[in-house]
Structure 1
Amino acid sequence: MNYTLHQLQIFLKITQLKSITKASEALFLSQPAVSIQLKKFQDQFSIPLTEVVGRQLYVTDFGKEIAEAAENILNEVQAINYKTLSFKGQVAGRLKISVVSTGKYVMPYFLSDFTNKHRGVDLIMDVTNKQSVVKSLENNEVDFSLVSVIPEQLNLEKVELMANKLYLVGSTKKKFDRKVSTKKIFETYPMLYREDGSATRNAMEEYIASHNIDTPKRMTLTSNEALKQAVIAGLGYSIMPIIGIKNELKSGDLEILPFKDLPMVTTWHLVWQKSKNLSPTAIAYLEFLKAEKHRIIEENFGWYDQY
């Protein structure tokens, strides 16, 4: 047999995504190139690795075993690369971070200088909902997680990053009736919520409950971007983290409505299990954060002070 590491990588990605098209997109290759490499890889085995039923690609039992072996081989190759860089005195290894959806506006700024300085670091950042973030921590699938509300059921270490401010926000295109007092806006217009389990939704519900506000009209959207676009379109109002609407405030598509006891302020924390044995790469990243986080905040989030 004479298969290449490139073929192993392509075959593994196909088995993970169950699609040649999706694999080509994930690997930034053309679909024909992926198909050709899959055929060359298959030609080295007398037993089928995949099969197509209808339009769906399936991995055979034999193919699953080969995919598992391919993953092990690729991991070993990666480990060799990391060790080589480490012997040269460079930080090298994988850094896995799970991030709640709104955190995508925060976390990249705390990573870019570190990854640019240490080219041997392979970053894997999963942007998902709060429940999945907590699960990834529980299952020890990540080095760190970025959250604005710390899960109390887990025994965690933490590093404070920056404030998370939530305001009442509405569209400038469809303003509420000025004859209606701001206090009545929750009762008069639809309130837009994130899905159950979202930290933003929880904060909004806690605020409304603590102020005895009635919200008879409700809508639920399952992503921060969908919620933002709905507010811009004038579907209703919402309490939103300001971190995700900087451009919309600047362009005039959204406006902050002054309201009692707003903004709500929580804190973005990077957290990890106390019992976790951190890798040298993860330890190096914590040292970087402690040294650089104030500079990063000043350079990238100074606009916070305007609100």
Structure 2
Amino acid sequence: MNYTLNQLQIFLKIVETKSITKASELLFLTQPAVSIQLKNLQNQFEIPLTEVIGRQLYITPFGEEIAEASRRILKEVNAMKHKTMDYKGFLTGQLNIAVVSTGKYVMPYFLSGFLQKHVGVDLKMDVTNRFKVLESLEQNKIDFALVSVMPDNLEVERIALMQNKLFLVGNKAHAKNLYNKKFDFILKNLPLIYREKGSATRKAMEDYLSTRQITTKKKLQLSTNEAVKQAVIAGLGYSIMPLIGIKNELQDNELHIIEAKGLPITSSWNLIWLKGKKFMPTATAFIDYIQDQKDTIISENFKWLENYEFY
């Protein structure tokens, strides 16, 4: 057999998500790339690893056994790597982080320098909605979480990283027709596109509309920030979205920010962890790194957020 460690890692992510699309998003790969690696792994076996019924992907019983074997293999490989690095005197271990969906535009910049400095440190970063992020934190499955809305039911400590601003956006061509429309008309009469329940962006959007007693006539719900963005670009409706995730689309004139009362909604990105958590050396070193390098990272990568002008 000629399967690779990369194929096993990709297969495990498919098993975890039950979806090639979701696996590709979490691995920052294209769907075709993930599909090809799954096919290459499948070619090593005469028995199916997965099956598709209707539009849903399922893992076969044989696939579950291969997934369990893959976990053991990758665990041993990581153990060998860490032992080697230990002998060389390097910091080793795994950093476990859960990030809300739009945090994927933020967190990599705060990780890059740390991982380059400590080559013996592995990273496991789950990108999902706020509900699942906080669930992982509450169950102590992760070291850190990145959120834009602080939990009200957990005792946590935090490092405030940077501002998060949300604006009302629309398709460039459609938005031009709204210049002479009143604010209430925009939000009450046009279709609004929401993230799924459990999303921090959805919560911010619902809170904003609720405080202004605005009821929308038509709602669309999509499961990812990227899906919402593409729907708005296609002209399906309007949405309140984080500026951090639409920079390129604004520059390419695919999206347009619509001036509205009470916007932008401003919060902050926070790196949080359970109060009293006993950290391994890897996590402790990461906190030290963030506290020391935070301002530099923000200045080098996110200065445009503070200075962005859209009028």
Contact persistence 2:96–2:143 (CA under 8 A): yes
CA contact (8 A) 2:195 2:223 kept: yes
1:179 is displaced (CA, Å) by 4.3
Greater Cα radius of gyration, structure 1 or 2: 1
**Equivalent position SS for 1:108:** helix
Q: What is the DSSP-based 3-state SS (H/G/I as helix, E as strand, rest coil) of the residue aligned with 2:201?
A: helix
Equivalent residues in 2 for 1:264-279 (5 A)? 264-279=265-280
The alpha-carbon deviation at position 195 of structure 1 amounts to: 1.3
Match of 1:190 in 2: 191
Contact conserved, 1:18 with 1:58, CA < 8 A, in 2? no
Q: What is the alpha-carbon distance in structure 2 between the residues aligned to residue 268 and residue 191 of structure 1?
A: 25
Query: Contact between 2:192 and 2:220, CA under 8 Å: does it hold in 1?
Result: yes
SS in 2 for 1:125: strand
Which is worse superposed, 102-111 or 148-157?
A: 148-157
Q: CA deviation at 1:269?
A: 0.6
**Normalising by the residue count of structure 1, what TM-score does the alignment of the two structures yield?**
0.81
Equivalent residue, structure 1, for 2:83: 83
TM-score (norm 2): 0.80
Q: Which residue of 2 aligns with 1:127?
A: 127
Aligned to 1:152: 152
Provide the rounded CA distance (Å) in 2 between the counterparts of 1:211 and 1:92. 51
Distance 1:301 1:12 in 2: 32
Contact 2:196 2:223 in 1 (8 A): yes
Identity %: 45
Q: Is the 8 A contact 1:9 1:74 kept in 2?
A: no
CA RMSD of superposed structures (Å): 3.4
* Contact persistence 2:193–2:219 (CA under 8 A): yes
Distance 2:158 2:226 in 1: 28
Gaps of 5+ in 2: 24-31, 53-57
Partner Cα separation in structure 2 for residue 67 and residue 180 of structure 1: 56
Residue of structure 2 equivalent to 1:161:
161
Aligned length: 289
Deviations 1:87-146 (A, max 9, x none): 433222111111111111111111111112221111111111111111111222211111
Rounded Cα–Cα distance in structure 2 between residues aligned with 1:11 and 1:188: 49
In 2 relative to 1, CA 57–197 (structure 1 residues): closer, same or farther, beyond 3 Å? closer
Measure the CA separation in 1 of the matches of 2:36 and 2:116: 21
After TM superposition, give the deviation of residue 17 of structure 1 in Å: 4.8
Pick closer, same or farther for the CA change 1:18–1:188 going to 2, 3 Å: closer
Q: Match for 2:203: what amino acid?
A: N
AA at the equivalent of 1:289: I
SS of corresponding position for 2:151: coil
Contact 1:173 1:233 in 2 (8 A): no
Q: 1:237 to 1:96 in 2, by over 3 A?
A: same
Give the residue type in structure 1 aligned to 2:303.
G
Distance 1:222 1:33 in 2: 29
